[in-house]
């Protein structure tokens, strides 16, 4: 891109939701913005953490409540539910087929594309602590684990700031 790039205005997205449809929305915006040369940061918090979790490792956490939560909330980029019409997993399966037909990238591809475009993934420290998750539980593409203050220090200079 030219050095006169006009789009140095950062984009910040808080991905709070762990559903496929909402994560898709976040990544469509993130990759589009990154393609326009805008620096993009996604702050993954609470259920949204599932999107950048590594596959595997059903039992996580240091007490029974955390373990139960992590078993019931098991998920990663290839295993995310829908916010509507989930139908015990039939909804996501059908949507994935429909997306593949239209050559919309799946979540794993979106993550790879976003990382290649320099989108930064920040896991939220507080949610991780509550849920008993370690930084090793997340994809290697992630940046440092940060807290709300660090998120705000990025967000306050952003022109676009979304909570999904």
Partner 1 sequence: MTQYTIDKSLDARGWCCPMPSVKTALALEGMADGQVIEVITDDPVSKRDLPVWAEATGNTLLAVEETDSTIKIYLRKGEAQA
CB of 118 to partner 1, least distance (A): 11
CB of 41 to partner 1, least distance (A): 18
Chain residues that interact with partner 1, rule: CB under 8 A:
1-2, 4-7, 28, 31-32, 34-37, 102-105, 113, 116-117
Residue 57 CA from chain centroid, whole number? 18
Of 84 and 102, which has the nearer Cβ to partner 1? 102
User: Which of helix, strand or coil describes residue 23?
Assistant: helix
CA distance 144 to 156: 19
Of 25 and 69, which has the nearer Cβ to partner 1? 25
Of 84 and 103, which has the nearer Cβ to partner 1? 103
Burial class (CB within 10 angstroms; exposed 0-12, middle 13-18, buried 19+) of 80? buried
Of 104 and 130, which has the nearer Cβ to partner 1? 104
11-15 vs 40-44, strand pairing mode: parallel
Q: Residues 6 or more apart from 130 whose CB is under 8 A from it?
A: none
Q: Are 145 and 135 in contact (CB under 8 A)?
A: yes
């Amino acid at each position: 891109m030219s050095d006169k790039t006009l789009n140095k205005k950062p984009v910040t997205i808080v991905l709070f939701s762990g559903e496929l449809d909402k994560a898709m929305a976040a990544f469509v915006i993130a990759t589009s913005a990154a393609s326009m040369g805008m620096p993009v940061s996604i702050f993954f918090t609470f259920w949204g953490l599932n999107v950048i979790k590594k596959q595997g490792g059903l039992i996580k956490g240091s007490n029974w409540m955390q373990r139960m939560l992590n078993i019931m909330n098991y998920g990663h980029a290839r295993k995310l539910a829908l916010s509507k019409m989930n139908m015990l997993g039939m909804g996501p399966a059908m949507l994935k087929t429909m997306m593949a037909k239209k050559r919309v990238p799946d979540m794993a591809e979106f993550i790879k594309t976003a990382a290649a475009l320099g989108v930064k993934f920040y896991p939220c420290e507080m949610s991780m602590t509550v849920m008993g998750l370690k930084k090793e539980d997340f994809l290697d593409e992630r940046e440092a684990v940060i807290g709300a203050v660090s998120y705000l220090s990025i967000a306050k200079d952003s022109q676009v700031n979304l909570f999904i």
